[in-house]
Amino acid sequence: MRCEVVAIGTELLLGQIVDTNSSWIGEQLALVGIDSHFQVKVGDNFERMERTIRHALDRSDAVICCGGLGPTQDDITREVIAAIMGVELHRDEAVVAKIREMFESRGRVMVDNNRRQADIPEGAALIAEMPGTAPGLVCPVGDKVIYAVPGVPHEMRTMMEGTILDDLQRRAGETAVIRSRVLRTWGNSESGLAQDLAERIDQLDAQGNPTLAFQASGMEGIKVRITAKAADEAAAEAVIAAEEELIRALLGDIIFGVDEQSMETVVLGMLKERGLTLAVAEGLTGGVLSARLSDMDDTMAIFRGGSIKDALADAGQAATSIRHDFGADVGLAVVAAQADDNQPPGTVFMHLDIAGRQHVQMVSLPGDRARFRNYAVINVLNFLRQTLAAL
């Protein structure tokens, strides 16, 4: 069962509204095992809307049209769907009465334009849930179906959860779930990861399930997404767990986290497990490192604090000094190379003092000042992570 999402509204194309509806719908479809291969956006133009929805029907079994069900002249989703179905619109007076009741309950008067929202294509069914003034529609087109839902997020979600997801599963004739897990990596490029996993990807392409995909996330690293489809959640999770084990064996310790884990949450977790506290000296990163750590440890139970000026001296001295100043177990300093260090531009010195034991690493980083700082933060946190793992 394949379901496509068509988001409708010129404001989406102009960037005036960010289309969060399509991403949410895609997530929900995956959770109930409905494949969704395409999501498209189209403006409020009859010809383009009709062409887009017909194309979606050609390549999918179901289409969810989101938006264009309001009372204004540019809300033409109903008319377009009626044309695709080859039927006329009829006005449902019971829906008119319901819309009027909603207005009156708020102490307002319904204007004539709102009556348009009760125009229903012949043969279409109303979605039972109607949290706003726009009714949703289930519109059969041969052996396929178009669902029309409002663009208002809470109204759309109510209809999806109340009617559409169940109806799609019923039409599919089978129950299945699609689950994903994201492995977060740092230290290799997207092309490098693809090369390291090339043989495994070929094997998965041949068998079809699970699948692997990459997502470059800039200063948050490269994500490797494992997706599995199975009869139930337990079976899907088992497939993902087995694949994750294989991927970890192939990639090693460049995998630093899973799903929503960030580098700082992973590092703070490792420090907590070992009963260690941390203080940082950051002449280069200008407080960015401290901000990211304190956001994840607002009680300062593990991250004791940081200083900027202490890191302007030698990195090793700064790491030891900051550890003593804050009474922490671990002192971490990150310093940019100076002109007299005879190092190439972008060189960064990272120094750790862990209970008196010294660890040092040097990296070369790209970018303008803002990117340079953020790359330095993720690198120094990764340095701390790898050093803790080796202890």
Q: Which residue has the tokens 């334009």?
A: 113
CATH number at residue 298: 3.90.950.20
The number of distinct structural domains making up the chain is 3
Q: What is the pLDDT of residues 55-106, one digit of tens each?
A: 999 999 999 999 999 998 899 999 999 999 999 999 999 999 999 999 999 8
| Same domain (yes/no): 64, 129 | yes
| Same domain (yes/no): 114, 12 | yes
| Same domain (yes/no): 86, 102 | yes
| Same domain (yes/no): 108, 11 | yes
Given 258, 278, 311, which residue is the final one in a domain? 258
- Burial of 203-233, coded b for 16+ CB within 10 Å and e otherwise, reads ebeeeeebbbebeeeebebbbbebbbbbeee
90 - beta bridge partners?
120
| Same domain (yes/no): 133, 49 | yes
Q: What is the pLDDT of residues 186-245, one digit of tens each?
A: 988 888 888 999 999 999 989 889 999 888 877 788 999 999 988 888 999 999 999 999
For 168, 180, 227, 302, the CA distances from 175, given in Å and listed in that order, are 10, 17, 17, 45
CATH number at residue 130: 3.40.980.10
Residues 6 or more apart whose Cβ sits within 8 Å of residue 279: 303, 304, 305, 306, 322, 323, 325, 326, 328, 330, 331, 332
- Give the full edge-to-edge strand order of the sheet including 3-8: 39-42, 3-8, 62-66, 144-149, 137-141, 125-126
For residue 155, which phi and psi values (nearest 5 degrees)?
-70, -45
Burial class (CB in 10 A: 0-12, 13-18, 19+), 310: buried
Q: Higher-confidence residue: 275 or 215?
A: 275
Q: What is the dihedral sign for C-alpha 283, 284, 288, 292? A: negative
CB atoms within 10 A of CB 296: 16
| Same domain (yes/no): 79, 202 | no
Using CA atoms, how far apart are residues 84 and 139, in angstroms rounded to an integer?
Answer: 10
Judge whether 382 and 263 are in contact, CB under 8 Å.
yes
**Do β-strands 278-282 and 177-185 pair in parallel, antiparallel, or remain unpaired?**
unpaired
| Same domain (yes/no): 23, 81 | yes
Is the pLDDT score of 340 beyond 90?
A: no
Using CA atoms, how far apart are residues 285 and 336, in angstroms rounded to an integer?
Answer: 9
| Same domain (yes/no): 159, 226 | no
Is the pLDDT score of 289 beyond 60?
A: yes
| Same domain (yes/no): 107, 160 | yes
Is the pLDDT score of 312 beyond 60?
A: no
pLDDT band at 149 (very low <50, low <70, confident <90, very high): very high
CA nearest neighbour of 318 among 309, 291, 374: 309
Given 172, 187, 221, which residue is the final one in a domain? 172
| Same domain (yes/no): 307, 272 | yes
| Same domain (yes/no): 89, 113 | yes
Given 233, 258, 283, which residue is the final one in a domain? 258
Model-wide pTM > 0.75: no
SS3 content of the chain, % helix, strand, coil (to 5): 45, 25, 30
Mean pLDDT in residue range 147-170: 95
Q: Which amino acid is at 121?
A: P
Domain of 361 in residue numbering reads as 263-390
| Same domain (yes/no): 147, 185 | no
CATH number at residue 208: 3.30.70.2860
Q: What is the dihedral sign for C-alpha 39, 43, 48, 50? A: positive
Judge whether 135 and 50 are in contact, CB under 8 Å.
no
pLDDT band at 299 (very low <50, low <70, confident <90, very high): confident
Is the pLDDT score of 268 beyond 90?
A: yes
